[in-house]
Amino acid sequence: MARKKNITVLDLWKIERLGAPSLSPDGAQAVVSLARHAMADNKSTTALWLLSTLGGAARALTAAGDKDGQPRWSPPRPGGELIAFTAKRDQQGRKDQESQLYLIAPDGGEARRAAEVATGVEAFRWSPDGRRIVFVSWVWPDAKGAKAQAVRHKAFSERKETGYATSEAQYRHWDRNLPMGRVAHLHVMDIGAEGTDGFNGAAGKVRDLFEGRGYELTRADPGVDHFDISPDGKRVVFAFDPAPVKRPDGRAALAEMDLRSGRSTVIAQDKAWDLSAPRYSPDGSRIAFTASQVGRKHTMPAHLALWDREGGAWRTVSEEWDHEVHAPLHWEDDGSAVLFCAEDKGRRHLWRFDLADKRAEVLVAGGWVGSFDKAAGALVTLADSAQHPARLHAHLPGSAPLRMDSFNDALLAGIAIGTVEEVWLTGALEDPVQMWLTYPPGFDAEAKKKLPVMHNIHGGPHTGPGDNWHYRWNTQLFAAQGYVVASVNYHGSSGFGYAFLDSITHRWGALELQDIEAGTDWLLKKPWVDRRRVFATGGSYGGFMVAWMNGHVKPGRYKAYVCHAGCFDWVGMFADDAYPWHAAELGAWYWDDMAQIHSQSPHASAKNFRTPTLVIHGALDYRVPDAQGLAYYNTLKALNVDARLLWFPDENHWVLKPRNSQLWYGEFFDWLRRHDPGLVEPS
């Protein structure tokens, strides 16, 4: 048998990436998007594929576009079922400037543009009768009608000026400026019902449901989790921020609108609660949604909540269950339970929450269940783990889970994957703390060879991954270089209960460092660890931790650091897109209590910096503006500390282009080798 090789950056980018599945009404097939990346031309393409829940070969559905995404199977409808998706295409002599809605029959043929929406289609849902689609589009709220929107869009796209002018409190999100002067509205599009192709009748007619009504969806990635259509197709429920000034920390309420008349009613609102992800029950009598009591504290988890049409009141139903509920929500057909994903100790499971006895049970265990769909009794999940990228499985009643895809099997069959182990240690406050270890392929604890250790410190801080596959911080790729990779779920991480998550509030850095240091102490006791070759790396909040460690850990304990997109100066960080949360997280506004802010800011301990550091940042990062990385790098240089800078003018908080990722990993590994002369190149 041929010897397997260690994974490389090129292998990582050859892996084909599956998107969220959408099931046919009979549960027999799923449609997914599949992304493929080409290192040679530095591009990616995405097409749609069909897979059977009973097994068999996958079938390509689209090929003409290069960014076909968000596929959704229609309900049964006159003229036959359709699959809708978003894309930018060149069709009938017209090239899409914005993403549009396309329709294709499941048995193939040519996809057709459903309508031309000047402001584009962001996300959508089918009406239950398959005759209409409700979708999100960013519009100018003062422009009335589709023609006026088209005129404004043409003028804006042809303008010569590049300045962004605003008076809004919320004007950028993660890696992009929000569309200047525009807000996210819900629209309804008629698909038509006559004929075999479903494109006749009133097809293409579009109406802005929010026009002149003052509503808008969230400005932070408005999508399908922010609205739903009633089972009878007559109403739509949506989450909106009632505050006159929209801020990133706004608290959404729920409203319901009659699709014919446009009349609307606010059905759930409380100034102390943030409400989102509404989903109608199968009979339309109830609406499930998520509710977080952020007025009590900004870190409060999202609970499952229910609104009852008969009484007109809402209540939370999962508050006794110490887990955060993740959207989307999915009702069981009989209305007895709701399905959703939630984290639990470094894993993300699919859960079934029984409404009668308020009991949650794991329906499909992770790894990391990323998405799911259910129809006609068939359940499909897309899940990855620390040892493999995302895979699609069908879960049919009375049958064992069935693997549906095989896109990456041939590639991965020739790659050696390192063993992954979950260990627990005593951390800060004498609490048990989880640490994940990824070992180099072929690791032998009984061998006399001593290995280097690399801490992989996660961001957030309120995330808690472990048993998952990560393309930008891939622990298998790190381990393939010869490192034992340690990932500590420090205090503040999600998935370990609310008290653990909230424990770091107003004292960032303190407990987390104790946990990471406890992990290092645990590792240094192992006979296979070379105590002279310990490194620490991290991104985002993990980058903050690396900078914090440079000022608070005795020089020499860690051979070198890597700081990607790390927070360095909390006063300077006020330029980020999340500034309204600073006082809640740190305990004060900087103008009220500078000492409190500096007590949690790495830059305040700069005089202690001694450890060599690679600093990486992207100019398009608005969550941690790149001035943070540049200030840290400049500080290290001024202190004559060995440092190197990798700065990307065209990347954001992440590094998403294949060639830039190759450069990122290359600089990363070169830096560690430079400070670890004893590292043997992997064969």
Q: How far apart (Å, rounded) are the C-alpha atoms in residues 532 and 448?
A: 16
Q: Which helix (H) or strand (E) holds 616?
A: strand 613-618
Decide: 376 and 26 in contact? Cβ < 8 Å: yes
Decide: 346 and 361 in contact? Cβ < 8 Å: no
Q: Are strands 378-385 and 359-364 parallel, antiparallel or unpaired?
A: unpaired
Q: How far apart (Å, rounded) are the C-alpha atoms in residues 633 and 380?
A: 47
Q: Structure pTM? A: 0.96
* Model pLDDT, residue 678: 73
CA dihedral 668, 658, 650, 169 (to 10 degrees): -90
Q: Which helix (H) or strand (E) holds 542?
A: helix 541-552
Q: Look at residues 302, 284, 393, 324 and name the one whose alpha carbon lies nearest to residue 32.
A: 393
DSSP string, 101-121: EEEEETTEEEEEE----TT--
Decide: 456 and 477 in contact? Cβ < 8 Å: no
Decide: 86 and 102 in contact? Cβ < 8 Å: yes
Angle at which helices 510-524 and 541-552 pack, to 10 degrees?
Answer: 80
Strand order in the sheet with 253-258: 227-229, 235-240, 253-258, 264-268
Domain limits, the chain = 417-674
Which 3 state secondary structure label does DSSP give 570?
coil
Q: How far apart (Å, rounded) are the C-alpha atoms in residues 20 and 32?
A: 6
What's the token pair of residue 312? 């007109």
Which 3 state secondary structure label does DSSP give 94?
strand
* Model pLDDT, residue 679: 55
pLDDT tens-place string over residues 183-230 = 999 999 999 754 433 334 457 899 999 999 999 999 999 999 999 999
* Model pLDDT, residue 353: 98
What are the beta bridge partners of residue 666?
A: none
DSSP 447: S
CATH architecture, domain 417-674: 3-Layer(aba) Sandwich (3.40)
What's the token pair of residue 467? 């048993």
Q: Is 358 left (phi over 0), alpha (psi -120 to 50) or beta?
A: left
DSSP 604: G
* End-to-end alpha carbon distance in the chain: 18
What's the token pair of residue 12? 């990582």
Q: How far apart (Å, rounded) are the C-alpha atoms in residues 409 and 403?
A: 11
Q: How far apart (Å, rounded) are the C-alpha atoms in residues 352 and 348?
A: 13
As separate numbers, helices (DSSP H) first and strands (DSSP E) second, the chain gives 11, 43
Number of Cβ atoms within 10 Å of the Cβ of 477 = 22
Given a cut of 70, the residues of the chain with pLDDT beneath it are 1, 193-202, 677, 679-683
Q: How far apart (Å, rounded) are the C-alpha atoms in residues 411 and 676?
A: 31
What's the token pair of residue 23? 């099931």
pLDDT tens-place string over residues 380-425 = 999 999 999 999 999 999 999 999 999 999 999 999 999 999 999 9
Residue length, the chain?
683
Inter-CA distances, 492 with 143, 406, 469, 474, 500, Å? 45, 37, 21, 22, 6
Inter-CA distances, 643 with 127, 609, 649, Å? 56, 11, 19
